Chains A and B, each alone.
Chain A
């Protein structure tokens, strides 16, 4: 079964490697011609993750948790169910665990073996999350990696790295910035960034 593709494959007549754009087009043609794939269905998948399913969903979850203590308690106890209350569920969201960042604990999420990520609340992973350097290093020197990414974590704050090696997906509930306590959910949502929900950024007051 372990028949890896030959690394010398994917060469054109001049011996240059054929880029993935050209090979993607070729594979789509081969499958479409035989009726195995419908390009319209492909368009729908792409549009879904370009527009409908993205980090705005996660921002709504966090804004609600910040303004509704009972919701926050449910979110931390049963993440998947509490997220579904807002209508967010689907692939890569079978079991979502939410962990809270506080004055004393900073959680940061990774998937070292691939790039598993909670799609229903954050959409598809950003480039940095898929970067082999992030995957390799954040489980070895997280404080240093976070600092390189512009996220300073105090020496008195304990870091917990969450490596998503199975089907559990992790979402970070970031700290609400001081001075935003009186804001409504609608006012809070635009402040909440994707990177903070993975644990590589803090959220600033406006």
Chain B
């Protein structure tokens, strides 16, 4: 994906603390988190049906502060705002202006923008689709991922690019996030759970383990 969201395998992150007891770890730690969660679900519907890929694409285009510093539901809020602004549903700066006004500042609020909602809807509910052609690869096949992908909406994380693994399962076909996220079409295709060794991913000194990740057909090189 090559974006602020693509952090798999990145170094420089600190320790992970032991999780608190489940009954002390509610889904929302502050009331606003629940509001941001629910607003996002509804805002997504306002923009273009429940296009989750468009939402994830919006998340991946946030600046680092808006992605990390506001926390998980803050990131949802910021991605919702981005989608709503791009669709002409709210004006750029409208949220900040209202928040400052609510805090007692004297601020002029922007008017309603010209709607520019994408003329797009999914062909069916959900993300799974039927694909007529047979999968290119079968369980047990050795496959290699692409080393480069062009679209900034891609779903091939950096840490698995140009790596060779084995197909562990052929999963149901999905809409292709790269095009669906940008309202360019579903391009439904086969998806494989591909299993990699840690040494293939990180080199001979890596901690020993295996990893599976779902790889879209478009991201696999031709058979050798």
Contact = CB atoms under 8 A, between A and B. Distances in A.
Interface stretch (A62-70, A135-143, A172-180, A181-189): A135-143
Given A20-B71, A30-B90, A128-B16, A165 B213 contact: yes
A81 interface: no
B39 A31 contact: yes
A86 interface: no
Interface residues of B, number: 102
B102 A26 contact: yes
B122 interface: no
A144 B11 CA distance: 13
Contacts of A87: none
A157 B210 CA distance: 12
A206 interface: no
A42 B211 contact: no
A136 B78 CA distance: 22
B75 to A, nearest CB: 9
Contact of A159 (B96, B99, B210, B216): B210
Interface residues of A, number: 88
Contact of A166 (B36, B65, B72, B155): B155
B95 interface: yes
Given A24-B77, A139-B9, A143-B209, A167 B61 contact: no
Contact of A114 (B5, B81, B127, B174): B5
19 contacts: A7-B64, A9-B93, A12-B100, A20-B36, A20-B77, A21-B30, A23-B96, A28-B35, A42-B42, A46-B35, A94-B127, A124-B27, A126-B19, A127-B29, A140-B11, A158-B210, A163-B8, A166-B191, A200-B19
Given A26-B95, A166-B214, 20 more contacts: A1-B182, A3-B61, A5-B85, A12-B105, A13-B107, A27-B80, A30-B90, A36-B89, A38-B42, A49-B27, A114-B59, A115-B72, A136-B11, A140-B206, A142-B209, A159-B208, A159-B209, A165-B215, A168-B171, A168-B191
